[in-house]
Chains A and B, each alone.
Chain A
Amino acid sequence: MEEAVAELQQFLVPDARKDLKSAACMTTAQLTGTPEGLKLLSCRGDILCAVVRLVRDPETYTAKDAMRVLVNMSAEEEGATALLKLDGVEVVGKMVELVKDKEYAHADFACGVLANLSKRREHCQEVWKRVCDGPTKLEGLIHILCQIDYNKKGAKLHLLAPVITNFSQLPHGRRLMLDKESYVFQRLIPFMEYKESKGRRMSVIATVHNCCFDKEYHPWLLGDEVDLAPRLALPLAGPDTFTLEENESLPPDLQFLPDDKEREQDVEVRKLLLQALMQLCITRSGREVLRDQNLYLILREHHKWEEDRHCIMLNEDLVNLIVRTEQEIGEDDLSNVNVPEDLASKFVAEDEKYLAGGTEDLTTLQEEDTPDK
């Protein structure tokens, strides 16, 4: 196979005869479909560089196959490492350039490559660094993501969202995203209800969820400029069943919801939403905001509708914090509470038993849920 691969190289150049170039690209793409082929290509930086140089080939099939190679390579750890190590071309910068190009027809593939490359922890930092060093930067990518119909050749760029999510796992990434001076984070929020693409919606919610883990940003997230809490509750809300007074006690986002309002269908996404709301309840001021906004009403109705055990549990934990008075809770900042080892493992065991369909009696869970000091 090695000789065959070596032969390929001569045809993987922009000046090669069209049909040979196309065939060579296709063959390379097929190679990436097999583990041996992938392994082989990972050692051939020269071929990979050649492929990268063909992504803008005027022949559609050639360019598409070149992109396919990169997508498949980046999906595997070995391939990703190889791509990032390339000498002749800077693959991250190239992909960003393709995404930025409104007229590039295969931009969705480019997003896919970036998503794959940034997925693994060990690579994410490197990809992040290269994006920040480039001209577009995080802000540019988010701007592009948030513009519907940015790409004029039909690419939807939904896969750009998981790239952002991957970056949100880095503290530097979150810090840039949550910049109070610019208008970046707020652009993501409308996509939390984006019906057209489940992948985009999930990734955006995951990004928001990750950003809720930085306590120091809670006042800003819960404040006027972002007003995140009602938007986290909205996918959990169903059609309006409240009285006029109850409606008026809710934030405008949650008032008078139409009869055809659907709750988020995906269990994992609902978990993320509930966990994010939980995070916002870590501090006293956060809990007070959620109380003031009367989100309890939404959670109450959600509890009646929810069937997944894990989500029900998260809902109840959340309601627990909202419904109790501050005096009962006793602690301003719950992240400061130290739960002793033995109790911690006991709680985890109780949770697992419940999740496995164990006890239906939730009162025992409630009473012992209060952490000792």
Chain B
Amino acid sequence: MAEEWKEKVIEEKLGGKREWTEEERTELCHQLDQDLEHHIDNMTSTKYKDGWTEENWKEQMSEHPLFAPYVQEEGVTEGEAPINPLSEGLAQLKFDPEHNTPQEVAQNYKEEGILQFKYKKYRLAAANFSEGIKQKCPDGELNAQLYNNRAAANSHLGNYRSALKDCEKAFELKPDYMKAVSRAVECATKLKLWDDVFMWCDRGLKLDPGEQRLKQTRLTAVKEKKLQERDQRKKTQEEKRKESDEQSLLNTIQARGVRLGTTASKASMSITLSDLEPCHPAAQGSRVHINECNELVWPVMLLYPEYQETDIIQHFSENDRIIDQLEAVFGDNVPPAPWDQQHKYRLQNLHVFFEDRQRAKLCRVDAHVTLAQTLSDPRYQVMGGTPGLIILVEGKFMTNFMSKYTG
């Protein structure tokens, strides 16, 4: 295109003349100078009115392509500001591969990124450095700087992992790049990747064996790693202990001959911890456990079908007699329950049963036995990890209730 324009000028303005002598050239220049002066003299002078004034300079500046990117309106977040078409044009020229070598483009992106960085526009800065890297220009040093700078930008954004990767690339391209090493140590420390910290500190100490700060960092990292490993071991130990305790609990329950029933049907015969989770809200947090005397302690539900009420005894040791626990609820010193309107439910009147689900029978329980003896009854099934006992008193309701069960 430039060629065409040149031809046109030679044709039109210079009459197609191509061969010029020194004197002819000088003569032409002189002539052109005179023409220009003549033209200027003929221009009328007008008052300068398009310049920036006190009032409008801010606005003008924010629209001027040279200043626009660096003046943001208040409240506008980075990346949302409208891009001035004039600055876009300028930018295109700077970064246009048609007018620049990859190296120049990369250099320009680098400078642009640095400027953004200074104004704390870290995302924009990183984007610029990325563009510079994309140029794949042959200058290793420049690329190393681009990677390191992008690492710095990402570091400020908290993207420590990306930053670390960029530091690796930078160091690869420039093995004496102390800045990349320092940045990498910083990022690896933030990520608590102690082995990486060691590696980077060693790289740095190789470049500068007297670097005391790196040495200190390495020593600190060694200590942190010890603590980290210790914490991991402690956690593993606790998990193992928990598992072993749970297994021990399940074994004890099976050894006592307690049958656990589950609401869902199960193919396997072995019981798991989930079979012991209490469903009843009041029993939450009182799951069966083994106490210091090696006894099982159950949450037990007392059911009063006559009044559709229930009670939960949260800690019923298997060796406690049922009657002793009932005394705490229905004994002489205890006032009657609010639902016990006729005051019938007193200790001496109570009849205790459990339900044999399989055969749909009601089984009587002698209250003078222990819970363990009741639970080991082959007909007894513990549902939802919470043994239940049905409490009734003599009367019409009880007769009715019992008749519903076969035999």
Contact = CB atoms under 8 A, between A and B. Distances in A.
A257 B229 CA distance: 10
Interface of B: 205-206, 209-210, 215, 218-219, 222-223, 226-227, 229-230, 233-234, 236-237, 240
Contacts of A255: 230, 233-234
B236 A258 contact: yes
B234 A256 contact: yes
Interface string A255-266: 111110000000
A258 B227 CA distance: 15
Contacts of B230: 252-253, 255-256
A186 B222 contact: yes
A182 interface: yes
Contacts of A143: 206
Contacts of B236: 256, 258
Contact of B237 (A139, A183, A186, A256): A256
Contacts of A257: 233
Given A181-B210, A186-B222, A225-B219, A256 B233 contact: yes
Contact of A182 (B209, B219, B226): B209
Sort A-B residue pairs by CB-CB distance and give the 10 closest, nearest first. Answer: A256-B233, A252-B230, A252-B226, A256-B234, A255-B230, A256-B237, A252-B227, A183-B215, A225-B219, A182-B209
Nearest to B218: A183
Contacts of A252: 226-227, 229-230
A306 interface: no
Interface string A99-110: 000000000000
15 contacts: A139-B209, A143-B206, A183-B205, A183-B215, A183-B218, A186-B222, A252-B230, A253-B226, A256-B230, A256-B233, A256-B234, A257-B233, A258-B233, A258-B237, A259-B240
Given A247-B234, A256-B233, A259-B240, 9 more contacts: A181-B210, A224-B223, A252-B227, A252-B230, A253-B226, A255-B230, A255-B233, A258-B233, A258-B237
A181 B240 CA distance: 43
Contacts of B218: 183
A240 interface: yes
A184 to B, nearest CB: 10
A224 to B, nearest CB: 7
Contacts of B227: 252
B213 to A, nearest CB: 12
Counting chain A residues whose Cβ lies within 8 A of the other chain, the interface size class is 10 to 19
Interface of A: 139, 143, 181-183, 186, 224-225, 240, 247, 252-253, 255-259
A181 B216 CA distance: 11
Contacts of B229: 252
A256 B226 CA distance: 12
A143 B206 CA distance: 10
Nearest to B234: A256
B398 to A, nearest CB: 54
Contacts of A181: 210
A357 to B, nearest CB: 39
A251 to B, nearest CB: 8
B291 to A, nearest CB: 20
Contacts of A240: 237
B159 to A, nearest CB: 30
B266 to A, nearest CB: 32
A246 to B, nearest CB: 13
B181 to A, nearest CB: 15
Contacts of B234: 247, 255-256
A175 B227 CA distance: 30
Nearest to B232: A256
A159 to B, nearest CB: 23
Contacts of A224: 219, 223
A86 to B, nearest CB: 32
A183 B227 CA distance: 21
B242 to A, nearest CB: 14
Contacts of A225: 219
Contacts of B226: 252-253
Contacts of B223: 224
Nearest to A139: B209
A143 B202 CA distance: 10
Nearest to B216: A225
Contacts of A186: 219, 222
A10 to B, nearest CB: 45
Contacts of B237: 240, 256, 258
B64 to A, nearest CB: 55
A322 B240 CA distance: 33
Nearest to A240: B237
Nearest to A226: B219
B219 to A, nearest CB: 6
A183 B229 CA distance: 22
Contacts of A259: 240
A190 to B, nearest CB: 9
Nearest to A259: B240
A46 B240 CA distance: 67
A63 B165 CA distance: 41
B99 to A, nearest CB: 45
A200 B210 CA distance: 28
Nearest to B210: A181
**Among A224, A225, A252, A258, residue most surrounded by chain B Cβ atoms (within 10 Å):** A252
A258 B233 CA distance: 7
A181 B236 CA distance: 38
A225 to B, nearest CB: 6
A253 B226 CA distance: 6
B160 to A, nearest CB: 25
A192 to B, nearest CB: 14
Contacts of A256: 230, 233-234, 236-237
B329 to A, nearest CB: 39
A321 to B, nearest CB: 26
B72 to A, nearest CB: 47
A143 B209 CA distance: 12
Contacts of B209: 139, 182
A148 B187 CA distance: 24
A139 B219 CA distance: 18
A96 to B, nearest CB: 18
Nearest to B235: A256
A43 B240 CA distance: 67
A181 B219 CA distance: 12
Nearest to B220: A224
A255 to B, nearest CB: 5
Contacts of B219: 186, 224-225
A24 to B, nearest CB: 41
A307 B210 CA distance: 47
B106 to A, nearest CB: 33
Nearest to B205: A183
B235 to A, nearest CB: 9
